[in-house]
Amino acid sequence: MRRGVVTGLRRAWPGAVELDVTVDGSPGRALAYPALVGTPEVGDEVLLNTTAVDMGLGTGGYHLVVADLDRLAPDRSGPGHLVKARYTPLQAVVLGVDEEDSPHRRALTDAVSLDGQPVVVADLHSALPAIVVGLLAARPDARIGYVMTDGGSLPVWFSRSVAELTAAGAIVGTVTAGQAFGGDLEAVTLHSALLAAQVVLRADVTVVTQGPGNLGVGTPWGFSGVAAGDAVNAIAALDGHPVASLRISDSDPRERHRGISHHSRTAYGRVALARADVVVPALDEPLAGDVGRDLSESGIAMRHDLVRVPTDGLLEALRNSGFELSTMGRGLDEDPAYFLAAAAAGRFAAGLLTS
């Protein structure tokens, strides 16, 4: 924790504002969530969590505003009894989509099944824009809902991708599940979030990923993307149609992520007990990794249905989408296989829509 002073206001997007600050005499960049800490102004003294910058984290390279010492955040108002980021100093009280005070309580009480609705699951948050592009390229009229789980960022406000997709009308809304918060709708579990996307957002198809800033330590089981396998199970439990997007790369410097990432191999090959359609993109260029071997040795080929999806036209659609495409600091030109795999999953899901 460090004290800092706000020296300037930078860009803002729904739920977040960037700040210029000085900390211990050095300039820096900070992020504030007005719903939690109020809106700082130039000259304000702020309390900052400097951990991300001190550690050199790429995704989370901001000082985070813990409190504005010159003006307190307003008292919360309105209904809501769900507490998220529970028992932390910045715990948030929100209105759950299915709690007693919610106007959607009755609809969620009666909702028990997804009735075959396609749901696309991906490991990283960075896959979200590409999946959406693939969906809309095939079905421009599709209503796409987004469910954000709590494996990465807890506040959805950190995601500029969600802000961009929402502003463009590419997604019809976001449901934040588990400890994640800040979505258009708040849900206690992934299961209730999936149902809310269907019956409240009226989504035709839903995409599930963790928030930005996934956690991984390089061991077989030590990564937050394990939850992608849990998501497949949740979708199947609700009679939905799971569509698994593979994390594929030809550019990641880490061997465990070349070809099919070990994240996908574990999540779909070991954790996902329900059967899913696993989308294998038909890439023009061969990958450095052996995709066929990865699918076989991981157990994915045995547990799931492999669907080979052409990628013609998707590179152009991604390039012309206007959305920021970046994963681990690599853009579309640096790692096209990653984004094409996600877009192919979206293309396949679009083909499952019947009307």
Query: Mind listing the pLDDT tens digit for each residue in 128-137?
Result: 999 999 999 9
| Predicted pLDDT at 75 | 83
**Structural contact between residues 317 and 230, judged by C-beta atoms closer than 8 angstroms:** no
Provide the residue ranges of all domains of the chain, joining segments of one domain with +. Answer: 2-68, 105-351
| Predicted pLDDT at 288 | 56
Q: Which of 9-23, 92-106, 108-122, 210-224 has the lowest mean pLDDT?
A: 210-224
CB pairs under 8 A, 24+ apart, for 254-258?
Answer: 254/218, 256/218, 258/287, 258/288, 258/289
Which comes out higher in pLDDT, residue 252 or 109? 109
CA distances from 185 to 38, 112, 285 (A): 21, 18, 41
CA distances from 266 to 217, 227, 247 (A): 14, 10, 11
User: Residues 36-59: what's their mean pLDDT?
Assistant: 90
DSSP 203-241: -SEEEEEEPSS--B-SSSS-BGGGHHHHHHHHHHHTT-E
User: Residues 307-335: what's their mean pLDDT?
Assistant: 92
In this predicted structure, the answer to whether residue 48 has a pLDDT above a threshold of 60 is: yes
For residue 18, list its beta bridge partners: 31
Crossing angle for the helix pair 127-138 and 336-351, nearest 10 degrees? 40
pTM, entire model: 0.94
Amino acid at 94: V
**Structural contact between residues 221 and 266, judged by C-beta atoms closer than 8 angstroms:** yes
| Predicted pLDDT at 73 | 85
Question: At 263, is the secondary structure helix, strand, or coil?
Answer: helix
Please provide the CATH number assigned to the domain covering 2-68. 2.40.50.220
| Predicted pLDDT at 74 | 80
User: Under the phi-then-psi rule, with left for phi > 0, alpha for psi from -120 to 50, and beta for the rest, what region is 218?
Assistant: left
Q: How many CB atoms lie within 10 A of CB 218?
A: 9
Query: Mind listing the pLDDT tens digit for each residue in 167-209?
Result: 999 999 999 999 999 999 999 999 999 999 999 999 999 999 9
What's the fold here for domain 105-351?
Rossmann fold (3.40.50)
Query: Mind listing the pLDDT tens digit for each residue in 68-84?
Result: 999 988 887 778 999 99
Mean pLDDT of the chain: 93
Which of 72-76, 298-302, 348-352 tops mean pLDDT?
348-352
In this predicted structure, the answer to whether residue 57 has a pLDDT above a threshold of 90 is: no
